Amino acid sequence: MGKQAVILSGGFGTRLSHVVSDVPKPMAPIKDRPFLEYIVLQLKKQGFDNYVFLTGYKSEVIENYFKDLPNSKFIKEETALGTGGAILNAYEFLNNEFYVINGDTFFDIDFSLLQDFGQDKPCTLALRYSDNIARYGFAEINDNFEISSFTEKGKLPNNRIDGYINGGIYYIKKSVLRRFFDKFSGQFISLETEIFPELLNNKELFGLPIGGCFIDIGIPDDYYKAQDLIPNWLKKEAKPALFVDKDGTLIVNTEYPHGKDFQIIDSTINIVKKYSEKNYYIIMVTNQAGIAKDKFNFADMQEGFDGIKSFYKTQGIEFDDIEYCPYHKDGVIKEYSYDSLLRKPNPGMILQACEKLKIDLKNSIMVGDNPQIDNIKLPYLNSLIITEKVKDLI
């Protein structure tokens, strides 16, 4: 059986009204196509073959455009029902498991990662790393990826600079909605503020951090940005990445190495070369607590990066990206004295790279030397710690 997408498509587009005024927000034009068509193209490519459009404002625009899409249904709400109510309004048409997708948000994830993780769980949210949680609020997860809390925008603690935000994609088992259908069918109910909190309290709600191109067209600036970003992104083919640690893996780990004073670890060269020849992206990911602790500055750090890049260039190897974390909770530089999801073993740097490059995370690999730091907290990313025994196997 293929996958079913339940697409929330009833948005008015109030904030876009002076830009796009005659169509529902999901049908706002991006180049020569409606935004919603890019979502459908993305879904088709990943094996979706069943579509339920939850419509409202100017429903006929969506119905007329997608009327020839095989296995598609259009469920219109006659009065505003909220995101949860719209889904419950389509209850009889839902498969036993399905994906809910916001029709005004583009988040290019690998849906198989969400399915593999969530197949034995009632409800799993795709989470995105963001350093702009003031705009969205954020979700906390524990080591089992169970969501432990939501913090709304406007109520952010002073000690947070980043977090996981709701990516607008949910993998849900129909059975978990039965009690809500029995109680709230035909009524206004919000998925995000009423259903999810109850699932959280019952330990039925999980969150999986995933990386990929993300844009919300509900704000004019982002809508204009999407005009080129989305069509160009979808032309790209995803490929896997070798994420490689710096200190102790690429270079000898002296105390806070920086600048030109570094020593290449020769045994790592062949590992990097192997994956470069296999057409992997080569991405350095490195904790740089020396910034927060005032051991060196950004110019010193960049000089070290440039030196490593120059050496590897002599080996015929180019780095596609370098991600670094300058934060540390024990720092002495105030603006960098925070915990951060960028800091390994948290996956922020990995997920941030996925917004720049179209990365096949399922087949990617993280290589490092420290089991406490380089075993990245992602259930689908293969993290390998270099030892003498495994060097030839990597």
β-sheet bridge partners, residue 102: 8
Q: What is the mean pLDDT of residues 343-349?
A: 98
pLDDT in tens, 110-160: 999 999 999 999 999 999 999 988 778 889 999 999 999 988 877 777 778
β-sheet bridge partners, residue 198: none
Provide the mean pLDDT of the chain: 92
320 noted as active-site residue:
no
**Residue bearing tokens 């004073």:** 261
Q: How far is CA 313 from the centre of its chain?
A: 31
**106: its two tokens:** 């583009």
pLDDT in tens, 37-95: 999 999 999 999 999 999 988 889 999 999 999 999 999 988 889 999 999 999 999 99
Q: In the chain, at which residue ranges do the beta strands (DSSP E only) sit?
A: 3-8, 29-30, 33-34, 48-55, 72-76, 97-102, 105-107, 123-130, 138-141, 147-151, 163-173, 205-209, 214-216, 241-244, 281-287, 321-325, 365-368, 382-385
Give me the percent of the chain exceeding a pLDDT of 90.
79
The predicted pLDDT at position 19 comes to 61
Find the helix or strand (DSSP H, E) in which 349 lies.
Answer: helix 348-356
Q: What is the mean pLDDT of residues 11-34?
A: 74
DSSP 8-state assignment for residue 247: B
- Read off the pTM: 0.93
Q: Which amino acid is at 255?
A: E
β-pair type (147-151, 138-141): antiparallel
Give me the catalytic one of 108, 162, 247, 374.
Answer: 247
245 noted as active-site residue:
yes
Cis ω on the peptide bond leading into residue 220 (within 30° of 0)?
no
Give 381's pLDDT tier (boundaries 50, 70, 90). Answer: very high
CB under 8 Å to 150, separation ≥6 — which residues? 137, 138, 139, 140, 196, 197, 200
pLDDT in tens, 243-278: 999 999 999 998 888 888 899 999 999 999 999 999
The predicted pLDDT at position 14 comes to 56
Highest average pLDDT, of 24-38, 148-162, 359-373, comes from 359-373
The predicted pLDDT at position 155 comes to 74
The predicted pLDDT at position 16 comes to 53
Burial of 202 (0-12, 13-18, 19+ CB in 10 A): exposed
β-pair type (29-30, 33-34): antiparallel
Q: What is the mean pLDDT of residues 197-214?
A: 96
Q: What is the mean pLDDT of residues 216-239?
A: 91
The predicted pLDDT at position 217 comes to 87
DSSP 8-state assignment for residue 191: I
Largest interatomic CA distance in the chain: 68
Q: What is the mean pLDDT of residues 222-235?
A: 92
Cis ω on the peptide bond leading into residue 345 (within 30° of 0)?
yes
CATH no., domain 3-235: 3.90.550.10
Please tell me whether residue 359 adopts helix, strand or coil conformation. Answer: strand
The predicted pLDDT at position 176 comes to 96
Would the pLDDT of 185 be above 70?
A: yes
How many Å apart are CA 112 and CA 115, to the nearest integer?
Answer: 5
Would the pLDDT of 242 be above 70?
A: yes
CA nearest 121: which of 101, 138, 103, 141?
141
β-sheet bridge partners, residue 286: 324
β-sheet bridge partners, residue 281: 241
Instruction: State the angle between helix axes of 59-66 and 35-45 in degrees (0 to 180), rounded to the nearest 10.
Output: 40
The predicted pLDDT at position 391 comes to 61
Helices (H), 120-219: 133-136, 178-184, 196-201
β-sheet bridge partners, residue 74: 53
Domain boundaries, the chain: 3-235, 241-393
How many Å apart are CA 111 and CA 49, to the nearest integer?
Answer: 13
How crowded is the C-beta side of 33, counted as CA atoms within 13 Å? 12
CA end-to-end span of the chain: 36
**Residue bearing tokens 């259009």:** 74
CATH no., domain 241-393: 3.40.50.1000
Give me the catalytic one of 104, 108, 162, 245.
Answer: 245
**Residue bearing tokens 């048409």:** 93
Would the pLDDT of 209 be above 80?
A: yes
Would the pLDDT of 388 be above 60?
A: no
How many Å apart are CA 61 and CA 41, to the nearest integer?
Answer: 18
**378: its two tokens:** 């992602």
